[in-house]
Amino acid sequence: MSDKKNNFTTISFRGGGFQFKNNYWISPTVFIVLLLLWHFGSTLGFISNLVLPKPTEVLIAFHDLYVTGDLYLHVGASLKRLILGWTLGTIIGIIIGFAIGLFALVRAGLAPIVAAIFPIPKIALLPLFIIWFGIGELSKINLILFGTLFPTIIATYGAIDNVDRSLIRLGQSFNLSWFSITRKIVFTASLPAILSNMRITAAIAIILIVAAELIAAEKGIGAYIQMAGSLFAIDRLLAGIIILSCLGLIANWLIGLTERKLLKWRNL
């Protein structure tokens, strides 16, 4: 005890942990290990081929898709619907969101309707849309448009509500025109929220297109998966699912790219 009283002792460090470290090699390793487990599980018979075919078989199904040109056919059909529906839904959603965010009258009129339609699972509208727009492209594109429209409206006017009022006051105090304040301050300030909403709507669009194609389509990734399922061709079914995963990843990557370009000032 007298030692502790009279001598200096080093204070032990207790501030570690609770922080991210970038381990770039971990995730590829986990991925490869899982693939190997799957491969050896299938070849050694732990996993029944009826339930889960070998990874190489999925790869062959993928190769077939590519060689026969069906890949372009199905992915192309889905992409066309996705891009058209998502782009239209996003643009119209941003415009309506801005109208609600900027004009009290529009908000009073539209916000309750948006709130009422937003929670409807949009896939429930597909039968209605088929009656309205026919079995062809229009019903699917409209479904995606509808599915992306409402989240975009809500995210956009929510973003506008959150714009720092002091920046708007700044604009007014320097006599900036209404249009200048809207474009240079309100729009730019709400851009981060609008862009991060695009990640969500891209995922929604992919969910909706597959659901719609499962129900009623001859072409498209959903239709391909549906066909494979009814033929019990699990290798092709899995190939379809992998394409969907890639589609989602690519969409996410593109939005990330846009964010880095448009939101340079945040330096994230």
Partner 1 sequence: MELAVKNVSKTYGNLLVLNKINLKIDEGQIVCVIGPSGCGKSTLLRLIGGLENPDTGSIEARGIPPSDCLNPLTFIFQDFSLLPWRTVEKNISLVLEDHGLSTSNRNEIIRSVLRRTKLTEFSDRWPRELSGGMKQRVGIARALAVNPSVLLMDEPLSALDSQTSEILLVDLIELWEKQRFTSVYITHNLSEAIRIGHKIVVMSRRPGEIRETVNIDSEIMDREIRNIELEEHLWNLLRDEAMAAEWELKNE
State the nearest-atom distance from the C-beta of 183 to partner 1, in Å: 10
**DSSP-derived secondary structure letter, 220:** S
How many CA within 13 A on the CB side of residue 24?
0
230 scored as a contact of partner 1 (CB under 8 A):
no
Alpha-carbon radius of gyration of the chain: 26
State the nearest-atom distance from the C-beta of 196 to partner 1, in Å: 16
Instruction: Tell me how far apart the alpha carbons of residues 146 and 118 are, in angstroms, rounded to a whole number.
Output: 9
**Which residue, 50 or 268, has its beta carbon nearer to partner 1?**
268
Return the residues of window 174-203 that contact partner 1 according to CB under 8 A.
Answer: 174-177, 180, 184-185, 188-189
267 scored as a contact of partner 1 (CB under 8 A):
yes
Instruction: Tell me how far apart the alpha carbons of residues 173 and 252 are, in angstroms, rounded to a whole number.
Output: 40
**Which residue, 77 or 163, has its beta carbon nearer to partner 1?**
163
63 scored as a contact of partner 1 (CB under 8 A):
no
Binding mask 1-40 for partner 1 (x = CB under 8 A): ----------------------------------------
**Which residue, 47 or 193, has its beta carbon nearer to partner 1?**
193
State the nearest-atom distance from the C-beta of 76 to partner 1, in Å: 38
For residue 100, give the nearest of 156, 147, 169, 151 by alpha carbon.
Answer: 156
Phi-psi region of 230 (alpha: psi -120 to 50; beta: other; left: phi over 0): alpha
Instruction: Tell me how far apart the alpha carbons of residues 235 and 233 are, in angstroms, rounded to a whole number.
Output: 6
State the nearest-atom distance from the C-beta of 265 to partner 1, in Å: 4
> For residues 234 and 48, is the Cβ–Cβ distance under 8 A?
no
Instruction: Tell me how far apart the alpha carbons of residues 226 and 217 are, in angstroms, rounded to a whole number.
Output: 10
Return the residues of window 146-175 that contact partner 1 according to CB under 8 A.
Answer: 166-167, 169-170, 172-175
Q: Tell me which residues touch partner 1 (CB under 8 A).
A: 166-167, 169-170, 172-177, 180, 184-185, 188-189, 263, 265-267
